[in-house]
């Protein structure tokens, strides 16, 4: 049986790793949070250092907050690459820039190691029930070898193209998701301020063209004032920053994403980065002087 490394046991990584254990993978896990590691050990995984994961595992999954942490985890003196075996496959499921993904690909390739950028979509609920979607960049043979393990965590995985393609796809996904949440928030505030029950507006329009997976997930949370994070504002703020920075490097105009980034900057100043990204609505509530609630009261 292949030994699998799993690095990063946060909101997403924890349930993803648990699904792999439940479905029979022999997992070596690492996180800076000792409690998270202990919880996975109780579920059947084994705790390990980064060096031990590098020297013992055939496939290594990472899901970490940003590209700098991914690069440190792989390439610092005591990182995974210090002991990694040729033929190993590293699958990074973090949301990073395409430039960061290509850096990892090229530097691991020198060691005879394959690298896939494979960010996921679906948030915490789909991480828990094992129905995430993987958008993957890298070499086809590595993708085919890692695919069965991805399917222990997800329902779909698509090889989009070469190295960096998965990260590009994830950024495109984040543009759509976060601008959709922003439009939803503005619309619910509009209804509330105009004196119409937002819940009834939601029920009236959810089956039409305005309806979406985002609306189904976020409208009830907003109206119930539930901002417990399935996807933290801080992570999505970082993703939209990556969109804007990557777009500038490639001369791609992204005026709506740029404006959304500034909206998120305002939410950061207000100390809301640990809220769910449904809290984007709070920007529009502040402007209009209302708070969206069921019943419009």
Domain CATH code at residue 249: 1.10.1040.10
Contact 40, 27 (CB under 8 A): yes
Domain boundary among 99, 130, 162: 162
pLDDT at 19: 98
Residues of the chain where predicted confidence (pLDDT) is lower than 50? none
Q: What is the mean pLDDT of the chain?
A: 96
Residue 170 is a catalytic residue: yes
pLDDT at 1: 64
Domain of 75, in residue numbers = 3-162
Domain boundary among 162, 197, 217: 162
Contact 187, 280 (CB under 8 A): no
- pLDDT tens, 138-191? 999 999 999 999 999 999 999 999 999 999 999 999 999 999 999 999 999 999
Number of domains in the chain: 2
Specify whether 242 is located in the same domain as 271: yes
Specify whether 22 is located in the same domain as 156: yes
Q: How far apart are CA 38 and CA 205, in angstroms?
A: 45
% helix / strand / coil in the chain, to the nearest 5?
55, 15, 30
* Pairing mode, strands 132-137 and 120-121: antiparallel
Q: SS3 of 195, please?
A: coil
Specify whether 99 is located in the same domain as 183: no
Domain boundary among 162, 186, 207: 162
Q: SS3 of 238, please?
A: helix
Specify whether 17 is located in the same domain as 141: yes
Nearest-5° Cα angle at 12, 9 to 18: 65
pLDDT at 296: 64
First to last CA, the chain: 58
Contact 206, 215 (CB under 8 A): yes
pLDDT at 154: 97
Specify whether 220 is located in the same domain as 281: yes
Contact 276, 231 (CB under 8 A): yes
Specify whether 264 is located in the same domain as 142: no
Specify whether 8 is located in the same domain as 155: yes
Query: Which member of 170, 218, 238, 282 is catalytic?
Result: 170
pTM score of the predicted model: 0.90
């Amino acid at each position: 049986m292949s030994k699998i490394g799993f690095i990063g046991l946060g909101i997403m990584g924890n349930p993803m790793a648990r699904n792999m254990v439940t479905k029979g993978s022999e997992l070596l896990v690492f996180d800076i949070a000792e409690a998270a590691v202990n919880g996975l050990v109780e579920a059947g995984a084994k705790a390990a250092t980064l060096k031990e994961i590098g020297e013992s595992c055939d496939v290594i999954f990472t899901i970490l907050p940003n590209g700098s942490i991914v690069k440190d985890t792989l390439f610092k003196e005591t990182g995974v690459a210090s002991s990694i075996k040729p033929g190993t496959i590293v699958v990074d499921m973090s949301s990073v820039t395409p430039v960061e993904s290509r850096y990892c690909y090229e530097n691991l390739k020198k060691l005879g190691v394959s690298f896939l950028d494979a960010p996921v979509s679906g948030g915490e609920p789909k991480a828990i029930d094992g129905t995430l979607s993987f958008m993957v960049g890298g070499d086809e043979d590595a993708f085919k070898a890692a695919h069965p393990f991805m399917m222990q965590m997800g329902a779909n995985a698509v090889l989009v193209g070469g190295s960096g393609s998965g990260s590009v796809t994830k950024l495109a996904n984040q543009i759509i998701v976060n601008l959709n949440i922003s439009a939803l928030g503005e619309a619910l505030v509009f209804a509330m301020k105009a004196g119409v029950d937002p819940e009834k507006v939601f029920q009236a329009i959810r089956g039409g063209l305005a309806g979406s997976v985002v609306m189904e997930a976020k409208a009830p949370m907003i109206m119930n004032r539930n901002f417990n994070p399935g996807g933290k504002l801080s992570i999505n703020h970082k993703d939209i920053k990556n969109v804007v920075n990557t777009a500038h490097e490639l001369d791609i105009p992204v005026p709506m994403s740029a404006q959304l980034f500034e909206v998120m900057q305002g939410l950061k100043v207000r100390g809301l980065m640990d809220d769910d990204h449904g809290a984007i609505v709070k920007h529009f509530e502040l402007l209009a002087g209302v708070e969206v609630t069921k019943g419009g009261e």
